[in-house]
Structure 1
Amino acid sequence: MEKKVFVTHELPGEVIHQLSGLCDVNVWLGPGLLPASGLREELSDCDGVVCLLTDRIDRELVEALPGLRFVSSMSVGVDHIDVQALTARGIPLGHTPGVLVETTADTVFALLLAAARRVSEADRFVRQGEWRRENRWSPDFFTGKDVGGATLGLVGLGEIGQAVARRAQAFGMRVIAWNRTPKAVPGVRLQSLESVLAESDFLSVHLALAPETQGLLNTSRIAAMKPGAVLINTARGGIVDEQALAEALSSGRLYAAGIDVFAEEPVPVDNPLLSLPNVVLTPHIGSATARTRARMADIAAANAIAALRGEPMPHCANPEVYAR
């Protein structure tokens, strides 16, 4: 019987087209994203799935699919998937590490600069006609925060954190960092989390979402940040307490924030960050360049092809399944 693979969204890149030569491929064509109930139905007789970070593959779904042989996600993080449930079944999980490092680091600096120089506020001021109505200028007109010479603190010093550090050094910034394990990086001074929070003019989060990082930047740690600091998060929303962040921003204790990821996505309309003028918000676009997304799709497809051929995935998030 021919193997069947379900792809939860049309993907860019070229490698995905090779799948049809190895199996029966079914692609969700929309409209919109595939609902959870539809995912279970579509996977009922499939050997594998190529999915996105918006597709939740939990234990209940895994246990309902006795024929599932592999999962390949077009994402670096795999917190949308129950990795333990897959590993217990010996099911390999593919992901796409490394490919989005530089692109995401660019996004960090885009948010950092936009928040520091009040770009979103100024854009709204012009578009809404306020400039014409007020036609004013003064020494403090849309003044922002200097980036050059400031201190950047990194919470997490993986590949993306290191790429951000390189950019910061080019801006003449002093770079300090906290990492869960010691790591020597040129130009970066490792410090305790408490001292990084207290000294950073700009704080950028670069951690995977896991039980030990869930809510890491909570009310007390946000309160421990340097007064007037800017917080940037392009990692995962659940790491930062959004209510505590909103309160610190609205009180003026923190200067601004640049947020690309949220605890709930799409972000609900009652999220307190949406009403604040000193927050730059983007819809999880850290890796959103055409080239990077195509490369991610190619890696996800290559992982799926390897699994179909009975070979180890080139990029497997749970490689211990191959030791069995």
Structure 2
Amino acid sequence: MTRVLAAGDHFVLTELLVEALAREVPDGLEISELTLGWPTEPFGRVAEVDEASGSEDQMIEALQGVEVCVTQMAPLTEKVLDASPDLRLFCISRGGPVNANIAAATEHGVAVTYAPGRNATATAEQSVGMLIATTRRIPQTHADLSGGTWRGDYYRYDAVGPELENSTVGVIGYGAIGSRVARILAGFGANVLAHDPYLAPEAFAAGVEQVELDELLSRSRFVTLHARVTPDNKKMIGAEQIALMQPGSVLVNCARGALLDYDAVCDALDSGHLFGAAFDVFAEEPIPVGSRLLTTPNLVMTPHLAGGSKETAQRAATIVASDVGRYLRGEEIANCANPEVLRGRG
């Protein structure tokens, strides 16, 4: 019997992890369960890892005698690894293994997997929804009506926004999310430009024009960010890049807060250079009290919820369970952050 810890939370439920494991490996598993506090309790930094839920001591106790752990938010720190000698596989059901110390895991011979693309559909749909909500002022007009005010003045020509059909939309980052956004927008009749320096031309769908970043910004009425953060692209969109955008443009970020200079966006909204902006991610989360984001006009915001769908949670559990099955069968693991740990195995 292989001892497995299913450490779920209130999004990727422990029961979803257990059910996915049972489908993938019907026999031979002894599964213990742990439910962590996120999102009822905020995630945060635990020792040397980020965006984690639960404590080191909690994980150390739960991992005794455990060979495999499947989780979304549990911290895998050097202290946890030192105290968990039986652990060999740590599967994180999110797009990147930010809550794991990969270097320490490698030193301890623990393979770490993750689940890229788990929330691609949900995030793509949210991005397009926020784009439309911004151009049609849906949150603002709903708030006015809820407060008993009928704002007919929003129908003024200078207050209404542009349509997607026949507009040019720039998609920055053409991976699992960006490519879906492009496909959805094409269905609206938009002309889609895309920028992704890591992809070859043949990776872009027919009808999507691959361009350099400055050209995308200058030609697009709508710009939506879907790039991964790297050391080279932090604050890739700042005052200089926003100045290249057409007056009256709309900017959406449902990727990562580090990609954007939020003060520059607030300046552009205050001046009227941008028609609107929509954000699901921020440089600091939660947004601090007194932030300009809370008072800048024509801004639509959600609290890092773009990936939140039932299908995302179900898919996340299925992805990590599949890697557990591959591990136990001696097959190559699909998404391993430190594959060198598994070389020569079995």
Same fold (TM over 0.5): yes
Q: Return closer, same or farther for 1:90/1:107 CA change in 2, 3 Å cut-off.
A: same
TM-score (norm 1): 0.84
The Cα shift of 1:308 comes to 6.1
Instruction: Tell me, in whole angstroms, the C-alpha distance in 2 between the residues paired with 1:282 and 1:268.
Output: 14
* Runs of 5+ consecutive residues of structure 1 not aligned to the other structure: none
Are 1:5 and 2:5 counterparts? yes
Give the alignment partner of residue 189 of structure 2, picking from 136, 153, 172.
172
TM-score (norm 2): 0.79
Are 1:220 and 2:220 counterparts? no
Are 1:32 and 2:41 counterparts? yes
* Runs of 5+ consecutive residues of structure 2 not aligned to the other structure: 48-53
The Cα shift of 1:176 comes to 1.0
Asked whether the equivalents of residues 56 and 80 of structure 2 are also in contact (C-alpha less than 8 Å), the reply is no
Instruction: Tell me, in whole angstroms, the C-alpha distance in 2 between the residues paired with 1:220 and 1:158.
Output: 25
CA RMSD of aligned residues (A): 3.1
SS of the residue corresponding to residue 312 of structure 2 reads helix
Alignment-derived partner of residue 16 in structure 1: 18
Give the alignment partner of residue 111 of structure 1, picking from 130, 139, 142.
130
The Cα shift of 1:280 comes to 1.3
Letter in 2 for 1:43: M
Alignment-derived partner of residue 123 in structure 1: 142
Structure in which a larger fraction of residues adopt strand: 2
Letter in 2 for 1:170: G
Instruction: Tell me, in whole angstroms, the C-alpha distance in 1 between the residues paired with 2:17 and 2:128.
Output: 31
Give identity over the alignment, percent: 31
Instruction: Tell me, in whole angstroms, the C-alpha distance in 2 between the residues paired with 1:78 and 1:194.
Output: 32
Instruction: Tell me, in whole angstroms, the C-alpha distance in 1 between the residues paired with 2:41 and 2:155.
Output: 47
SS of the residue corresponding to residue 300 of structure 2 reads strand
Letter in 1 for 2:59: L
Alignment-derived partner of residue 315 in structure 2: 295
Letter in 2 for 1:226: Q
Alignment-derived partner of residue 78 in structure 1: 97
The Cα shift of 1:119 comes to 0.9
Are 1:247 and 2:267 counterparts? yes
The Cα shift of 1:85 comes to 4.3
The Cα shift of 1:137 comes to 7.6
The Cα shift of 1:122 comes to 0.9
Alignment-derived partner of residue 258 in structure 1: 278
SS of the residue corresponding to residue 269 of structure 1 reads coil
SS of the residue corresponding to residue 201 of structure 2 reads coil
Instruction: Tell me, in whole angstroms, the C-alpha distance in 2 between the residues paired with 1:212 and 1:122.
Output: 39
Letter in 2 for 1:73: I
Letter in 2 for 1:23: E
Asked whether the equivalents of residues 228 and 255 of structure 2 are also in contact (C-alpha less than 8 Å), the reply is yes
Asked whether the equivalents of residues 204 and 232 of structure 1 are also in contact (C-alpha less than 8 Å), the reply is yes
Are 1:286 and 2:306 counterparts? yes
Instruction: Tell me, in whole angstroms, the C-alpha distance in 2 between the residues paired with 1:259 and 1:183.
Output: 29
Q: How many residues align?
A: 320
Asked whether the equivalents of residues 169 and 175 of structure 1 are also in contact (C-alpha less than 8 Å), the reply is yes
Q: Return closer, same or farther for 1:316/1:187 CA change in 2, 3 Å cut-off.
A: same
Asked whether the equivalents of residues 87 and 321 of structure 1 are also in contact (C-alpha less than 8 Å), the reply is yes
Higher RCO, 1 vs 2 (CA within 8 Å, ≥6 residues apart): 1
The Cα shift of 1:178 comes to 1.2
Instruction: Tell me, in whole angstroms, the C-alpha distance in 2 between the residues paired with 1:221 and 1:143.
Output: 24
Instruction: Tell me, in whole angstroms, the C-alpha distance in 2 between the residues paired with 1:225 and 1:56.
Output: 41
Alignment-derived partner of residue 341 in structure 2: 321
Asked whether the equivalents of residues 62 and 86 of structure 1 are also in contact (C-alpha less than 8 Å), the reply is no
Q: Return closer, same or farther for 1:2/1:231 CA change in 2, 3 Å cut-off.
A: same
SS of the residue corresponding to residue 44 of structure 1 reads helix
